Structure 1
Amino acid sequence: MKKPLLTVVLVSLLSTSAFAGSAFTEAKDSVKYRQSAFQLIRHNMADIADMLKGDVSYDAERVNKRATALATLTTLPWEAFTVPGAEQGGGDAKAAVWKNLSDFQSRGEKLATDALALKSAADSMDQAEVRKAFGSFARNCKACHDEYKN
């Protein structure tokens, strides 16, 4: 039986030595941690996007579940970029992350704020509000990728 992606990534995230408060034993641990967090963000985003595009039936309760997850998940990856040597640990982050860490971190804070707005829209069960909030969330996510991800 194939394990759901969310389960696999959560187990990976929680079992890694990187998940010990904010203590990372090596730079590569911080990379694994942030990549796991971003994988979960991507999974939850894609599910909402598929519903909004009409690729799958819209389910307001499922959107709410995904938005709730995003409100938490979007707070996770940022500390892993501040670990000494994290820029040399590998991954898809451009060197610009560490040259402009303040801007990068503020974009992370904005993503988390956008996720809270998405959660609020999902709580309303109004698909039009969800679509609007998701659009802001996705644009911010893409803008950061354009600037800071290889």
Structure 2
Amino acid sequence: MKKSLIAIALLCSGIVFSQSSHANAFVNGEDAVTYRQATFQAIRFNLVDINDMFRGNVPYDLERVQRRAEALATLSQLPWEAFNFPGADHASGKVKAALWQNLEDFNQRGEKFAADAAALHQAAQGGERREIQGAFREFANNCKACHDNYRAD
């Protein structure tokens, strides 16, 4: 009986959680901008650290590259919903108007960005520096291409 009550309680909490998870985390467009900017700052930190290792600015450390690549694989999935939140197009931020006019293209680039980060993570787990560098180059080039098209400086 006790196990049945626990199971029912867990099931009910799961239903409540799943219903609340469909709601968006953002209060307004400015909140969405803050979220995406914070996410991109974390992406930037991890990207720059790997780049510094490949350029010889800091010693190369495979374990650190692996941690950074794992973080990038997770972080690269996060910012896109903040661009699709109602009102995000009218909020402040460093984006060109072209982004809102080409949101489908932008979202596709976001999917590629996340896929490139996953490939980088996989290459890093393999440990072969050349493979990691190639995957990193692809990831970084995709990042830059999106900035060139959609980020206002």
Same fold (TM over 0.5): yes
Count of matched residue pairs: 131
Are 1:129 and 2:127 matched, yes or no?
A: no
| Structure 1: stretches of 5+ with no match in the other structure | 1-19
| Structure 2: stretches of 5+ with no match in the other structure | 1-21
Q: 1:11 is matched with which residue?
A: none
Q: Which runs of 4+ in 1 moved over 2 A?
A: 20-23
Larger radius of gyration, structure 1 or 2?
2
2:24 to 22, 29, 45: 22
1:100 to 96, 99, 102: 102
Q: 1:64 is matched with which residue?
A: 66
Length-normalised TM-score, structure 2: 0.83
Are 1:78 and 2:80 matched, yes or no?
A: yes
| Pair 21,45 (structure 1): closer, same or farther in 2 beyond 3 Å | farther
Q: 1:98 Cα shift?
A: 1.0
What is the RMSD of the two structures over their aligned residues, measured on CA atoms?
1.2
Q: Distance in 1 between matches of 2:149 and 2:38?
A: 20
Task: Compare the two structures and name the one with the higher helix fraction.
Answer: 2
Q: 1:15 is matched with which residue?
A: none
Q: 1:21 Cα shift?
A: 6.1
Q: Distance in 1 between matches of 2:36 and 2:97?
A: 16
Q: 1:111 is matched with which residue?
A: 113
Length-normalised TM-score, structure 1: 0.85
Q: 1:96 Cα shift?
A: 1.1
Q: 1:23 Cα shift?
A: 2.9
Q: Deviations over 1:17-57 (max 9, x none)?
A: xxx96331111000000000000000000000000111100
Percentage of matched positions with identical amino acids: 55
Q: 1:102 Cα shift?
A: 0.4
